[in-house]
Amino acid sequence: MYDILEIRKDFPVLDDVIYLDSAATTQTPVQVVSAVNNYFYKYAGNYGRGAHRLARETTNHYEDSRENVARFMNVDPSKTIMTKNATESINMVALGINWNLGDHIVTTSLEHHTDLLPWMRLKEKGVDMTVVPPDENGIINPDEIASSITDGTRLVAVTHVSNVFGSVQDIGEITRITHKAGVMVLIDGAQSLGHIPVDVGSIGCDFFAASGHKGLLGPQGTGLLYVREPEIMEPSYFGGGMVHSVTTTGFELEPCPTKFESGTPNMPGVIGLGRGVEYVQNVGVANIEKHEKSLVKNTASRLAEIPYVEVYGPDDRCGVVSFNITGLNSHDVAMILDETSSVCVRSGYHCAMPALQSIGVEGTVRASVGLYNTQEEIDTFIDAVSQITSLVG
Ligand SMILES: Cc1ncc(COP(=O)(O)O)c(C=O)c1O
């Protein structure tokens, strides 16, 4: 049984606010905070360096976390790179591949800027880009991806779940048709991992990037990158901790993932992330999906019944409901919701300007849920929106 009251005990901050901004970052359960505290109080050492007990214990916990994260995605831990966020993960791919003049990338106008700007910057290297538009509900047609692939295409980069519409893309089909054309696929899983079951291993994509501080309930400053064939990428940073040997004239790198994690990593963050993944597994990601989908379905349909409210996105959505109130700026709506009802939502363009341009607006109010939100909280939120609309009526 989904015991929401038990879950909420693990998130003390929820006593004070109605938190509907989990798509930006989730609240952190006490178990994760304890794992981070334990690192500092009981065994803090540096990762992968040193023979003493603290360094060894830190390394063991760090590697256990990597293993948890990788197993959760059904992929090989040795191909799972710990990063500081999804943004770093995607930039590592953009910077790490040896691009050639005339190479081509296919992406979509649904993307978070994180899955757009790194590819746009490659224009300087002569890499061209085609941007496929979504339909009015934020869905990408895989056939449009297929027909955008040219002889020069090397990569298709697509978000799994839109952070604006909550629309879920058919990444299995997109990967299948892209691979059929001999092209690599990158999936931005920042809004899907931990919210819906994602079997990265079975999907077979070449790269899967995600944040640790969203659906996986890890601390901020954590993320991951899965790479199916690590040889395709060079590291973006060079220094300590990544080499097998160094002389004054050259160096030999360690294999993946070590060669991609130079410098002292975020040990407390990664260790906390491992605990966050365990938390998600204990609740069950299928249970989380069911709970969150029912909350957003209810939210969207009730918002749509309120006069002056326009809701965007498909009926079958994951985690997120975007809407506007006629005549009101989204930031003003967000401020009023906070001041009158302690409801925290995101407003503005959500780091996805082209996605908003596709529906002809500059910003939306975005309510996004986590495994800890209740139906009562949604009721309060809906009442608060209704009251605001009386300002425009
Ligand atoms: C779809 C999507 N991709 C990427 C990102 C960037 O994630 P991070 O801030 O962890 O780098 C976000 C953040 O909201 C997102 O929603």
- CATH code of the domain containing 43: 3.40.640.10
> What's the 79 CA to ligand 1 centre distance in angstroms?
21
Of the candidates 227, 247, 282, which is a domain's last residue? 282
Confidence (pLDDT) at 393: 64
Q: In what order do the strands lie in the sheet with 153-159?
A: 80-83, 223-227, 207-211, 184-188, 153-159, 104-108, 128-132
User: Domains in the chain: how many in total?
Assistant: 2
Considering just the CA atoms, what is the radius of gyration of the chain in Å?
22
pLDDT tens digit at each of 393 positions of the chain: 799 999 999 999 999 999 999 999 999 999 999 999 999 999 999 998 778 999 999 999 999 999 999 999 999 999 999 999 999 999 999 999 999 999 999 999 999 999 999 999 999 999 999 999 999 999 999 999 999 999 999 999 999 999 999 999 999 999 999 999 999 999 999 999 999 999 999 999 999 999 999 999 999 999 999 999 999 999 999 999 999 999 999 999 999 999 999 999 999 999 999 999 999 999 999 999 999 999 999 999 999 999 999 999 999 999 999 999 999 999 999 999 999 999 999 999 999 999 999 999 999 999 999 999 999 999 999 999 999 998 776
Q: Which residue has the tokens 């990788």?
A: 70
Are 304 and 257 contained in the same domain? no
Whether residue 96 is found in the same domain as residue 236:
yes
Distance, CA of 389 to CA of 393 (rounded, Å): 6
What single letter denotes the amino acid at residue 384?
A: A
CB atoms within 10 A of CB 340: 12
Question: Could you tell me if 188 and 318 lie in one domain?
Answer: no
**Which of 216, 248, 282 is where one domain is finished?**
282
Q: Whole-prediction pTM value?
A: 0.97
For position 310, what pLDDT does the model report? 97
| Number of neighbouring beta carbons within 10 Å of residue 52 | 10
Distance CA 251, CA 269 (A): 29
**Any residues with Cβ below 6 Å from ligand 1, and which?**
24, 85-87, 112, 114-115, 159, 163, 188, 190-191, 211, 223
- The CATH number of residue 324's host domain is 3.90.1150.10
Domain end call among 256, 282, 308: 282
278 and 293 assigned to the same domain: no
For residue 22, is it within any domain? no
**pLDDT score at 391:** 79
Specify if 124 maps to a domain.
yes
User: Closest Cα to atom 14, ligand 1: which residue?
Assistant: 24
- Going from the C-alpha of 256 to that of each of 82, 97, 293, 321, the distances in angstroms are 11, 15, 36, 38
Sign (positive or negative) of CA dihedral 5, 8, 14, 20: negative
159: which 2 tokens? 């978000």
179 contact partners, CB below 8 Å, separation of at least 6:
185, 204
CA 22 to chain centre: 11
Q: Give the burial string for 261-287 (b: 16+ CB within 10 Å, else e).
A: bbeebbbbbbbbbbbbbbbbeebebee
Strands 364-368, 320-325: parallel, antiparallel or unpaired by DSSP? Answer: antiparallel
Torsion sign, CA atoms 330, 336, 341, 342: positive
**Of 132, 93, 108, 89, nearest to 352 (Cα)?**
108
Cα 25 → chain centroid: 9
Question: Are residues 344 and 277 both part of a single domain?
Answer: no
Q: Is residue 20 part of a domain?
A: no
Atom of ligand 1 nearest to the CA of 89: 11
| Whether residue 172 sits in one domain with residue 106 | yes
CA distances from residue 67 to 226, 257, 261, 307, 325 in whole angstroms, order as listed: 12, 12, 16, 50, 45
Q: Which of 116, 208, 211 to mutate to test the pocket of ligand 1 (most atoms within 8 A of CB)?
A: 211
Domain hosting 92: range is 31-282
351 an active-site residue? yes
Within 13 Å of residue 52, how many CA atoms lie on the same side as its CB? 5
Pocket residue to mutate for ligand 1, from 82, 87, 322, most atoms within 8 A of Cβ: 87
Q: What separation in Å is there between the alpha carbon of 116 and the centre of ligand 1?
A: 11
